[in-house]
Structure 1
Amino acid sequence: MSEAADMTEDAFLGGQLRLRQKRSGHRAGHDAILLAAATEARAGDRVVDFGAGIGTAGLALACRIPGIRLGLVEFDPELAALARDNAAANAIAAETIVLDVTADAETFASNGLPPDSVDVVLMNPPFNDPARHRGSPDQLRHSAHVATEQTLHAWVHAARRVLRSNGALTLIWRADGIADVLAALSRGFGSLAILPVHGETGRPAIRVLVRAVKGGRAPTRLLPGLMLNDESGVSKNELTKIMEGRAALPLVEP
């Protein structure tokens, strides 16, 4: 199969965003769009997407909030190249940085990400449980999808380091791993807002979206769950707006 045939071009945000991605393997979907919708930023903010992949979450956020200074951090050079091309194809200004999120402070600084330099971090870390998920034999792809015991803590630590005081981190994770999220955020973060995401009404949540503030002191807020497949249709209109980039999720501080 040729390189062109190995790729697809897919529409997101109701056609506002068109992204090239590989036909096989992990593909961009709901998680990245929900992460973008859960992230608050303002024009002029420096926003960094950790583990950006082909750029989906960061570019979707830039579509909703024009004028952010976007950085796309991705350690797989092939995916980083796709992210760079996707930003250019959608006329979105973005800096693509080939970098392992678990790298040390000196490596981050040499790539333009010194401590206390970023307003907003969003991230979708590898979160598959290795005990229940058979990862790819390719080491890069395995690391991109399967979490170790250190993964979440390492990514949160990197976010805490680059964020300015009162900067915000937004992340998505498995719902059954919420205890790990709270533990990772217990050092240096506060003012948490937690949004459970349910695949079906009446079923346990499958994801949690969490917003945390560096140095925040406000009480934790547990928000009403988001239903992705509500048979009653009550929330379908609002969900459509969110998935099309016309509305944000309620994780910002009141």
Structure 2
Amino acid sequence: MTDGVLELTEDAFLGGQLRLKQLKSGHRAGHDAVLLAAATAARSGDRVADFGAGVGAAGLSVARRVAGIDLVLVEINAVLAGLARANAEANAIQASVIVLDVEADATAFAAAGLLPDSVDAVLMNPPFNDPARHRVSPDTARGAAHMATATTLSKWIHAARRTLRSKGALTLIWRADGLAEVLSALDHGFGSLQVLPVHGDVRTPANRILVRATKGGRAPTQIHPALMLNDEQGVPNRKVQEILAGKGTLPLANS
């Protein structure tokens, strides 16, 4: 930012199907947002809420794939929310943008139009780095976007549970080494869990997990075959490249 003027870039997502303006510095949307969108199940007519939407990358990617959803982008940062609103308009996608802390109480959610039991699908990419294990970015917005407190995950999942209709689905992306935290936070009110590990390549442990959970679900937990972003030679996985180009979905979106 220079003299109060936002420095922006305009970046192509989904193989150019979506063009998004975002801050040149600070938290920037990338592969995580597109993978989250590709793992999110939605049908025309569904009300879909993207918690911590940033500039709208994940939610708008879902809307580009599934026409006719009622999309709500929830973002605490007013600057990012403004960019999300502008991005929706620039891409001719109908979306409501709400400036709201996901950790706010039910009264604040209701005042913003998000009543209990009113949403069919929630997707979210919460701040997930532990500040005790990671260097905090000197950029305040970037740090807030990435750093979690001890209660971040449980509060975000609680908000999703409150907002979702019965049998509605939550889809989230998180650190792979935080799987136990995710399962613990989903233990109350959610079931029918599906887990998709994401690896940088076949030689390294998973560094992300995509998780789908159904409010009131009772089916056994499923762990899907791992998604490899690159092969042994570091060559990008063709299936992943198709997904990043907006030409496919992940198994969590298809069940």
TM-score normalized by the length of structure 1: 0.95
Aligned length: 254
Shift of the 192–4 alpha-carbon distance from structure 1 to 2, 3 Å rule, reads same
- Rounded Cα–Cα distance in structure 2 between residues aligned with 1:33 and 1:2: 32
Shift of 1:136: 3.8
Query: Match for residue 165 of structure 1?
Result: 166
Q: Is the Cα–Cα contact under 8 Å of residues 47 and 120 in structure 1 kept in the other structure?
A: yes
Query: Match for residue 236 of structure 1?
Result: 237
Query: Match for residue 117 of structure 2?
Result: 116
- Rounded Cα–Cα distance in structure 2 between residues aligned with 1:102 and 1:96: 17
| Structure 1: gaps spanning 5 or more residues | none
- What does 1:1-254 align with in structure 2 at a 5 Å threshold? 1=2, 6-136=7-137, 140-231=141-232, 236-252=237-253, 254=255
State the one-letter code of the partner of 1:142. G
State the one-letter code of the partner of 1:246. K
Q: What's the CA shift string for 1:123-170, capped at 9, x where partnerless?
A: 000001111222245655433210011000000000000000000000
TM-score normalized by the length of structure 2: 0.95
SS in 1 for 2:33: helix
Q: Is the Cα–Cα contact under 8 Å of residues 46 and 119 in structure 1 kept in the other structure?
A: yes
Shift of 1:53: 0.2
State the 4+ residue runs in structure 1 displaced beyond 2 angstroms.
1-5, 134-144, 231-237
Shift of 1:201: 1.0
Shift of 1:77: 0.2
Q: Is the Cα–Cα contact under 8 Å of residues 39 and 250 in structure 2 kept in the other structure?
A: yes
- Rounded Cα–Cα distance in structure 2 between residues aligned with 1:137 and 1:106: 33
Shift of 1:2: 6.7
- Supply the RMSD in Å over aligned alpha carbons: 1.8
- Rounded Cα–Cα distance in structure 2 between residues aligned with 1:233 and 1:139: 33
Q: What's the CA shift string for 1:10-56, capped at 9, x where partnerless?
A: 00100000000111111110000000000000000000000000000
SS in 1 for 2:252: coil
| Structure 2: gaps spanning 5 or more residues | none
Q: Is the Cα–Cα contact under 8 Å of residues 76 and 102 in structure 2 kept in the other structure?
A: yes
- Rounded Cα–Cα distance in structure 2 between residues aligned with 1:222 and 1:51: 26
- Rounded Cα–Cα distance in structure 2 between residues aligned with 1:141 and 1:37: 24
State the one-letter code of the partner of 1:225. A
State the one-letter code of the partner of 2:126. P
SS in 1 for 2:29: coil
